Structure 1
Amino acid sequence: MRRLIEPDLEARVCARLDARLSRNIDAPVCVALSGGGDSLALLQIASVWAKDRGRRLLALTVDHGLHPLSGEWTAFAGAQARRCGAEWRALAWQGPKPETGLTAAARLARHRLIADAARHAGARVVLFGHTADDVDEAEWMRARGSTLGRMREWSPSPVWPQGRGLMLLRPMLAERREPLRRWLGPRGSSWIDDPANDDPRYGRARARLALAGEAAAAVGSARRPLLGDPPQAIDGEGFRCARQVGRQALAAALVCAGGGEAQPRREQLQALMSRLASGEDFVATLSGARLEAKGPDLAILREAGELRRRAAEPLVLQPGTATVWDGRIELQAREPGWAVAAAQGRMAQLSDLDRACLSRLPAPARASWPVLMHEKSGPVLSSEAVSVRGLTAQRLRLALSRASGETTHEDDLRSPADGEGPWNPLCLGAEHMDRRSGDDCWTTEDINEPA
């Protein structure tokens, strides 16, 4: 009976998993499991794939606490995961819920919880069960003013810094929702139908109602902005690119340099693109980044003025725990007493050598550069007691990976590109420029070679 209904579905999805995921490694593959029909079909197919390819499968279920039956739904998802032989973990969205924008807040919380859990488990890829119907519904909502992003088969986690180095894979994005349920039926599987999916107060439900009975839109038919020449990493955790950079690449570079996670608004980005097309030289700020257009080139760096306005306290580092500062730098202290802050307002306290090193950066990047401080001493650019890793170059590479074709497989996440290994962006001193110190510092080749 099973082979008479959607006989090729399992083979198609497994082929997409094979194209992206590694075999016979210890790191688990995670599955976002809500208990709905789409995620349940993905769980069952992925469990067959994982057993045949020597991988562990970890299902992650988020209880949003928004429905009286949410606890029962979570328990049902756990039972389904165990039935398939997968590991399972329940996650809960705790704390107060917003009165407005609840759907977007719930989506953001879900991604953050899943990203944290996946990284803690050592996973690099999370599977999501989105389908072609989700693509059509999102397009319908965007046409009516929604700010939903476009779903792609292979894309970075949308949350930062929780999702750093984590990719999302949607292997059923070309499949339709109803055939998945027809595939589940003969397998004796039931699933959860969230009442919110039929509640017209929610945009997703209105989209489903509007699209019901209409001819399905062609998957991927929406025009994707061109990348142009991709931005190249430069000193200062920033980027340089040509004035003709594509809209998608420019938006990604601004977000990465700024260290945040929210994409620039469409009208703001379009206004910036118009200024670039005019050929004028100018300085602008957007998404926490500073853009300098001069002649044919652009430089994109962190906007130091935002750090000054925010006036954040130094971030205390907990020994043995990786901490992300300003969305751009990951630090891990080997001993207590260390903190990190912006160089702005502290440059005069640096040694002559450190100030000379800092002067090698582009002038706009110096104030937003991080310095280390110990409770018993003043600020320094680097210390053997703190390992440091810049995040912006790899983040941009992953953000543009689908369009550029550069990062297409889980192996690429485990084997960083040249210049992206563990290095210390605080090691700018002359004594560090021609040698490595435990693979923590730049060499001259690392500094000049784009990631």
Structure 2
Amino acid sequence: MDDLTSRVFARLDARLNHLGPEPVALALSGGGDSMALLDLAVAWAKARRRRLLALTVDHNLNPDSAAWTRFAAEAARVAGADWRGLLWAQARGGAGLPARARAARHALLAEAARDAGARVILTGHTADDVAEGEWMRAEGATLGRLRDWSASPAWPEGRGLMLLRPVLEERRDALRDHLRARGASWLEDPANADLRFGRGRARAALDKTPPRPPMERRRADPQVTPGFLPCGQDLAWAGVLALPRDLPGSTLAAVLLCAGGSVTPPRGGRLAALHGRLAAGEDFTAVLCGARIEASGALVRAMREPGEWRRHPVAPLDLTPGVAVVWDGRFEIVTDRPGLHVEAAAGRLAQLSDRERAALSGLPPAARAAAPVLIDGSGQARLAWRGANVRALGLRRLALASAVFTGETTQEDGLFQTLHGETPPSDLFSDEDC
């Protein structure tokens, strides 16, 4: 086994299960990076008796994209991996194309991986991608930083999914040398050299500098207060997250996204102002990213701001028996009863039974209004927990987003564990006649 293969095997072994029925997904574009990863991951999967599922996204933006997809399909099958093709049907040009294509790609990959039962998606990002990202951020881009192990950025499609980048410390040239030694070919996407896009400009600029050695892994500084997750989250089942005042700004941003069910991070200036008020010990109520922060003394809670629905209405969501759906980006709901839809409790609290209102009585008023209720054909409302299986997503989303810092979920095994607080206490609704 050569040095590259040994390093990649070690990284896969450090994160992934051995002898699991679940497949490991792999994003396969047909380019040199993903083709090298395919070759290495197939060898690992055969040695560890895991199934590998290669997923190829056709962005439908190049006349040759269908041929590229066929190339990737054949390469996966020859290598011995399962394969599935995915199409971005809403593809269109215009401003922000790379970001829109990236978001669509992550969503398609996440949906396909979840459908197959996978919890981890491998991607072929390299040390060169890290350097290009740094160059682009220096030029004003808002790209996130690549890490070897991170939560899927797609929401809610990527809930419960992690991304693993086992060649992130390797150079692009080294991966192509590996392919040449194996007699394998790969595709070159001309968009990567297109100077209209930041990635193309970054590659052109970095091509003029001497190659750097492979990056050494650097341990990230802790970003979450010890004990922040998952302890102290007794109201997380209702979408209420408790937080300390001294948490870093990056973690505060994650809390806001999780509590508000949003996908768009808060703006830097507003986030910094909120972070400063918390650190200064102020008592206040503020709204950002669709989330409401209530700070009073040592007690700080984040929850959905129901008033946001007046600005950005959330349409009632029809439920299909046996099919799990995500409502408001915060709750996964599945019921076996037909003819139901889900909406917010705001305006319907008076319709709930005395016992239901009692179950909500321990929540902040905003969280009561933001709770999901089921509406039947007659218009009768009941709390969603009475007629469906409901899992709050905020706590797990926050735990996975923070995994790289806290070590809370360091391996694939941890993705299957139930977190305390995702569902209500077993006795909260047990006495009700459902």
> Which TM bucket (shorter chain)?
over 0.9
Corresponding residue to 2:303 among 298, 301, 304: 301
1:373-412 → structure 2 map (5 Å cutoff):
373-382=375-384, 385-412=387-414
Corresponding residue to 2:62 among 59, 64, 67: 67
**1:30–1:60 CA contact under 8 A, matched in 2:** yes
Q: Could you say which residue in structure 1 is the equivalent of 2:20? A: 25
Q: Could you say which residue in structure 2 is the equivalent of 1:150? A: 145
Structure-2 separation of matches of 1:196 and 1:246: 37
Structure-1 separation of matches of 2:84 and 2:384: 39
Structure-2 separation of matches of 1:425 and 1:393: 15
**2:60–2:91 CA contact under 8 A, matched in 1:** no
Which string of whole-angstrom CA distances, capped at 9 and with x for unpartnered residues, describes residues 10-29 of structure 1? 11001100111111111110
Q: Could you say which residue in structure 2 is the equivalent of 1:227? A: 224
Moved more, 235-244 or 383-392: 383-392
1:48-447 → structure 2 map (5 Å cutoff):
48-214=43-209, 216=212, 226-229=223-226, 230=228, 232-235=232-235, 236-382=238-384, 385-420=387-422, 423=423, 428-429=428-429, 431=431
**1:37–1:181 CA contact under 8 A, matched in 2:** yes
> Aligned in 2, Cα 1:333/1:385: closer, same or farther, shift over 3 Å?
same
Q: Secondary structure at the match of 1:412?
A: helix
Gaps of 5+ in 1: 442-451
**1:358–1:428 CA contact under 8 A, matched in 2:** no
TM-superposed deviation, 1:382: 4.2
> Aligned in 2, Cα 1:297/1:353: closer, same or farther, shift over 3 Å?
closer
**1:388–1:426 CA contact under 8 A, matched in 2:** no
TM-superposed deviation, 1:250: 1.0
TM-superposed deviation, 1:247: 1.5
Which string of whole-angstrom CA distances, capped at 9 and with x for unpartnered residues, describes residues 305-325 of structure 1? 112333333211011111000
TM-superposed deviation, 1:169: 0.4
TM-superposed deviation, 1:254: 0.7
- One-letter code aligned to 1:291: I
Which string of whole-angstrom CA distances, capped at 9 and with x for unpartnered residues, describes residues 43-99 of structure 1? 000000101111111000000011111111111001110111001011000025252
- One-letter code aligned to 1:311: P
Structure-1 separation of matches of 2:341 and 2:295: 34
- One-letter code aligned to 1:360: G
Structure-2 separation of matches of 1:427 and 1:252: 31
**1:307–1:368 CA contact under 8 A, matched in 2:** no
Q: Could you say which residue in structure 2 is the equivalent of 1:449? A: none
**1:157–1:163 CA contact under 8 A, matched in 2:** yes
Q: Secondary structure at the match of 2:243?
A: strand
**1:357–1:430 CA contact under 8 A, matched in 2:** no
- One-letter code aligned to 2:431: E
Q: Secondary structure at the match of 2:233?
A: strand
- One-letter code aligned to 1:87: D
- One-letter code aligned to 1:275: R
Q: Could you say which residue in structure 1 is the equivalent of 2:38? A: 43
- The alignment of Structure 1 onto Structure 2 pairs a total of residues equal to 427
> Aligned in 2, Cα 1:383/1:9: closer, same or farther, shift over 3 Å?
closer
**1:382–1:426 CA contact under 8 A, matched in 2:** no
TM-superposed deviation, 1:347: 0.9
TM-superposed deviation, 1:427: 7.9
TM-superposed deviation, 1:424: 5.4
Higher relative contact order (CA 8 A, sep 6+): 2
**2:133–2:145 CA contact under 8 A, matched in 1:** yes
Which string of whole-angstrom CA distances, capped at 9 and with x for unpartnered residues, describes residues 339-371 of structure 1? 111000111111222222222212221111111
Structure-2 separation of matches of 1:114 and 1:336: 30
**2:17–2:413 CA contact under 8 A, matched in 1:** yes
- TM-score scaled by structure 2? 0.93
Q: Secondary structure at the match of 2:154?
A: coil
**2:342–2:384 CA contact under 8 A, matched in 1:** no
Moved more, 276-285 or 126-135: 276-285
**2:61–2:91 CA contact under 8 A, matched in 1:** no
- TM-score scaled by structure 1? 0.89
> Aligned in 2, Cα 1:430/1:363: closer, same or farther, shift over 3 Å?
farther
**1:331–1:388 CA contact under 8 A, matched in 2:** yes
- One-letter code aligned to 2:394: T
Which string of whole-angstrom CA distances, capped at 9 and with x for unpartnered residues, describes residues 281-331 of structure 1? 222111111112222342111111112333333211011111000111111
The percentage of counterpart residues that share the same residue type is 52
**1:389–1:425 CA contact under 8 A, matched in 2:** no
> Aligned in 2, Cα 1:90/1:164: closer, same or farther, shift over 3 Å?
same
Gaps of 5+ in 2: none
Which string of whole-angstrom CA distances, capped at 9 and with x for unpartnered residues, describes residues 380-421 of structure 1? 11466422111111111111011001100111112334455x
Which string of whole-angstrom CA distances, capped at 9 and with x for unpartnered residues, describes residues 157-178 of structure 1? 1011100111110011111111
**1:225–1:247 CA contact under 8 A, matched in 2:** no
Q: Secondary structure at the match of 1:341?
A: strand
Structure-1 separation of matches of 2:114 and 2:126: 25
Structure-2 separation of matches of 1:363 and 1:199: 52
TM-superposed deviation, 1:225: 7.5
Structure-1 separation of matches of 2:141 and 2:385: 47
